[in-house]
Amino acid sequence: MGSGVIISNNGIIVTNLHTIIDCNFINVKLHNDKIYSSEVLMTLPAFDISLIKIKASTPLIPIEFGDSNAISLGQDIINVSSSKLWQQTITGGIITGLGVSKQLDGQDIKGIEMIEVNLNLDEGDSGGPLLNKSGELIGMITAKDVTRSRKSYAIPSSKILLLYEYYQKSK
């Protein structure tokens, strides 16, 4: 179980690789409770990012990308996710660290600087969008510090955009 965010009107969704890695099939439930099967388009294990695609009958409304290179400490953020405990939740917080290197499951995520935020996460929140006050995607929630309360990490939107642009060029 995990969260994700629609990044194109033709049904491409970005989520964390660790949320889908051991799945035989992936069903996606949208905010309107419609459920779609999906296919994996591309993964980037070093950054824990996956692109998946659903086949919706009508064009979807994608998230607007914000500039993760323009964020600052203390900036207000919003997280939207659906965990096992709480469905379709919206929580607020602030950016508490920039350029943070982090380990996931004991492995360094090489070449990526994470955004540290003061959010409590539950299982299934990974893959949820981290938004600025304008509702633009500035990151994707990917991990929490299990030793400290309200300390979580997000992959910057600039890394997500790089993978999406690479996928678009490789089609």
Q: Which residues are catalytic?
A: 18, 48, 126
Q: Which residues contact 12 (CB under 8 A, 6 or more apart)?
A: 6, 41, 51, 52, 53, 62, 164, 167
Distance (Å, rounded) from C-alpha 32 to C-alpha 43? 27
- CA dihedral (147, 152, 158, 159) in degrees, to 10, reads 40
Distance (Å, rounded) from C-alpha 122 to C-alpha 144? 9
